[in-house]
Structure formats: C-alpha cells, structure tokens
Amino acid sequence: MSGAQRRDSGLVVEDRGHVRVLTLDRPERRNALSSAIQADLVEELLRCAESGDVRAIVLTGNGPAFCAGFDLKEIREGDRRGEHFRPPMNRPTRSLFEVVTETPVPIVAAINGAAVAGGFELALACDLRVAAPGVPMGLPEAKIGMGANFGSVVLPKRIPMGIALELLYTGEYVTSEVAERWGLVNHLVPADEVLPTALELAERIAANAPISVRRMKETAVKALELPLWQALRLDVGPNPYLSEDRKEGIAARLEKRPPRWTGR
C-alpha cells in the first residue's frame, strides 16, 4: 500500500514506512462507528496482523472529534424498520474492540477530539493514547439505555474501581487532563501536535525488533489476569530468543550500527 486510500465507509488507510495510519473520516457524523466502518476497521486490523511490514498502527479521527461512538442514527433507523438488535457480543461478526485488543501490532490512539461512548471504548482498546487538552472522555451509555459492555469490563482494569464505577453509573465525562492523571492518557500535547506525537511514538516502536514487540504485546495482554507462575510460562507467537533478529540485534549493538530487522 502506498498513498492514502479511502474506503466507502469513511475509513482512510495510509502507510508511512512501517507505520499504518487508520483515520476515521466521517466528520459530519463526528466519526461515529457505523456498521460499515466497523467492518472495514476489523478487516484492516486483521491485515495488519498478517503483514510483515506493518510494525505499528496509529488510529485517529478527522475533524473535531476522535469518535462519538456507535452510529445512533443508524441504530434508530434499524429500530424503525423493526430489525432485531443484537448486543455487540451476540453478533456473527467479531467485536471491533476485541479485535483492537488482540491485534499483535501495537496501536497508538491519536485523540484529536471528543472520545465518548464507543469512541472512548475504542481508545481504551488501543495500547497507548496521545490526546489534546480539554478533550471530553466518558461513557454516557447509562443515560441512553445502552450497555458499554467493553468499557464495563476494561475500565475497572485501567483505573481504580470506585472511579470507574462512578463514570459508568453517572455517564458523565471527564477531560483528557483528568484521564492523564489516572494513567489513561500517555501523552497530553497541544492539539496540532497530537498526530505528529502519535506518529513519532509509533515510529519509535516500529524501529525495534518486530518479533520482540509483538511478543511483548501478546504476552502482556494474555498474562494480565494470570497468576505469576502461569504468566511467566506463556509462549505466544514466534520466540524472539530463537530468532535471527536476536542475533542481528546483538551484532548491531556491539558493532555500533543500526540493526537491520527481517522479522525472522
């Protein structure tokens, strides 16, 4: 993939070296997650997982919002047509948030504007988050009769239980400054520096041994709830200790030169 490609759903896909940039481009709908854009995101993430060239991903939104969550207009139109509504985990397709979490390539969220409802869940599913000041974040699902299934599971794992439950029960927003204090935001930067900072962070990740980075992500995600003795014995994905890149990395360090990673 070379230049930026825009899908009919509104997803823009662009490669910048070993970094793939995925942009939600529905500013008129505040980048709401329609069924079509969810399907395209899942497909692109699966492609990234299969690619040997993609070593980091940046996920962002075009316009004033990062993502306003699920497309409520689309849902209401389905209700009016009498269509049966299935909760996210009861659908024949995989949950977008689940796929984001399980993608072995590290994902950096560049949060340029509001990240609320499913948009906040999407940001939570990413590995790292870069945000502008004053960005509203939260889960208003209790105010509209929705469930926030992913957020209800993940948020209490990210921040203290009492704070997570208050956000879930009240449906109120906090700013990115507060989220940074809680550790939900890695870097808080001026609005015009959000995407460049996320890209620079992704490029630093992509400069490292791809097998090592993938192994670290898969181990960290899958070991999170395991007892220490089980977590230490996880064996997920290719083993970097047995790779050609391990030999190359050591040689490059001793020879004081940049490593030439092959992903093998």
**Which residues are annotated as catalytic?**
121, 141
In whole angstroms, what is the distance from residue 258 CA to residue 7 CA?
36
Beta strands in 25-158 (DSSP E): 56-61, 65-67, 107-111, 114-116, 128-131, 136-138
What is the chain's Cα-based Rg? 19
In whole angstroms, what is the distance from residue 245 CA to residue 55 CA?
14
Cα 81 off chain centre by: 32
Of the candidates 240, 215, 208, which has an alpha carbon nearest to the alpha carbon of residue 18?
Answer: 208
Q: Residue 152: what residue type?
A: S
Residue 36 burial by Cβ neighbours in a 10 Å radius (0-12, 13-18, 19+) = middle
In whole angstroms, what is the distance from residue 197 CA to residue 209 CA?
21
Cα 172 off chain centre by: 22
In whole angstroms, what is the distance from residue 174 CA to residue 204 CA?
30
In whole angstroms, what is the distance from residue 57 CA to residue 48 CA?
8
Beta strands in 10-126 (DSSP E): 11-16, 19-24, 56-61, 65-67, 107-111, 114-116
